Structure 1
Amino acid sequence: MTAPAPRPSRRKFLAIGAAMVAIAAGAGVAVFGRQQAPDVTFISIDGQKISSQDLRGKVVMVNFWATSCATCVKEMPQMVETYNKFKGQGLEFVAVAMSYDPPNYVLNYAETRKLPFKVALDSGGDLAKQFGDVAMTPTTFVIGKDGKILKRYLGEPDFASLHLLLQKSLVAG
């Protein structure tokens, strides 16, 4: 009679689970079945109202971020580069600061880094809720000209694949 196989220790089990989460987070991409983006109005830090209806017919990136998020701060220069590369082809970009981010921090960050795109505040957390209860930052949505979500990136996107998606979406009718 053989002895039963030893059970993995709790520590090993947790390590395997953590590795699986890290792999999933590393992939960082969830593809939507062409779900419609929510009908929202963004309020920029300079008080401008930007409605999702105004953005229809354009490819739009909506990036949920926070000044206290290390990954958000790390990816922001590449977000600026991405916007600058594609804005001439019609890309719109709205960086949405999370509700817990103090507005004066957001304003200071946007001004000192000279962010070239629209920066909005989500003071009440309503935008995050309407985009599927966004809790993790950064979370970036790419919305097609038809107003449907093409892709959601959790964490920092793979910028090469993001650029390919934008290129393809911007030329599509």
Structure 2
Amino acid sequence: MRFFKAYRYLSLVLYFSFLSCENKPQNYPFLKDFMSYLTYFNQNTGLSADFIPLNEQGDKISRVDFLESLSQKDYIPIREEEDGKVFYKLYRLDKDKSSTNDQILTTVAQFAEIEKNFMSYEGQAFPSFNMLDLKGKRYDNQNTRGKILVLKTWFIRCHACVEEMPAMNKIVKVFDLRNDIVFLSLALDDEKNLKEFLSKKSFNYATVANQENFIENTLGFNSFPTHIIVSKSGRILKVFSDGERYLPYYLAKYLK
């Protein structure tokens, strides 16, 4: 009888210990500090990716509801895969438990707000535009209609904008023989500085100078780089920041 009582007590201790540890951050090594999670987030759960959003219980929810939950600073996304499908599941973090948790939640919320803003453009008509690139070629809504329009907003001193240029050049080369796609970059800088910069740095997009007003006031973007894919009918298909990561995927998707 004593053995049975002791065994029963030990079983209860183990059971409640399991409950106290279940779904706790220590089960995820990437939650040990902020940089570990940021690395995990960037490599596994970019919010501009195609994924199936799940709530905390594992039920499918809308992408908007998923991002809204992240923006409230209660959850982080955890990547799961099953049968070749990618799921992002909401995982609750106790924001008061540690400064690391608070830092992680705040950062995720900021990314979620950016993605919510990007999503709000999808399906909208691309604004009226009429521009000359550095070589004097004109681009407007009429002569780009019937073509996929790929735009990048940037400026010379934006490190991320410049760093991704070699990858963008490779993407342009892949589609070089297609006449139904236009790669156009809108820069904040003036013509003189752009020509000087591009004489030393190869960038295979057509480039338009002095586009601060169009980018910030007409388009409403204030983060760089921002990439926009516009359909052949002139409607915005997708907006995202990381061109190297997402542009090949979405071009393959929309150019099928």
TM-score (norm 1): 0.76
Greater RCO between the two (CA within 8 Å, min separation 6)? Answer: 1
Match of 1:4 in 2: none
**Which residue of structure 2 lines up, in the alignment, with residue 169 of structure 1?**
254
Residues 92-139 of structure 1, C-alpha deviation per residue, up to 9 Å, x if partnerless?
A: 1111102xx2433211222322322210013551344222x1111101
SS in 1 for 2:228: strand
* Correspondences of 1:71-110 after superposition (within 5 Å): 71-89=160-178, 90-98=180-188, 101-110=189-198
- Corresponding residue for 2:68? none
Amino acid in the other structure paired with 1:164: Y
Q: How does 1:126-137 map to 2 (within 5 A)?
A: 126-131=214-219, 133-137=220-224
| TM alignment of 1:1-173, pairs within 5 A | 8=96, 15-21=103-109, 23-24=111-112, 30-31=118-119, 32-89=121-178, 90-98=180-188, 101-123=189-211, 125-131=213-219, 133-153=220-240, 155-157=241-243, 159=245, 161-171=246-256
- Give the Cα separation in 2 of the matches to 1:23 and 1:127: 20
Going from structure 1 to structure 2, the CA distance change for 1:64 and 1:124 (only over 3 Å counts) comes to: closer
Once superposed, what is the RMSD of the aligned Cα atoms? 3.0
1:67-112 per-residue CA deviation (whole Å, 9 max, x = no partner) reads 10010011111111111111322321111102xx243321122232
Residues 131-167 of structure 1 deviation map (CA, whole Å, 9 limit, x = unaligned)? 2x111110110011111111001x22353x4223212
| TM-score normalized by the length of structure 2 | 0.54
Residues paired across the two proteins, number: 160
Q: Distance in 1 between matches of 2:177 and 2:228?
A: 20
Show the counterpart of 1:3. Answer: none
Q: Is the 8 A contact 1:36 1:149 kept in 2?
A: yes
Check the 8 A contact 2:190/2:209 in 1, yes or no.
no
Q: Secondary structure at the match of 1:24?
A: helix
TM-superposition CA deviations, 1:15-58 (whole Å, max 9, x none): 24532246538979933441111110122123332112210100
Shift in CA distance, 164/17, structure 1 to aligned 2, threshold 3 Å: closer
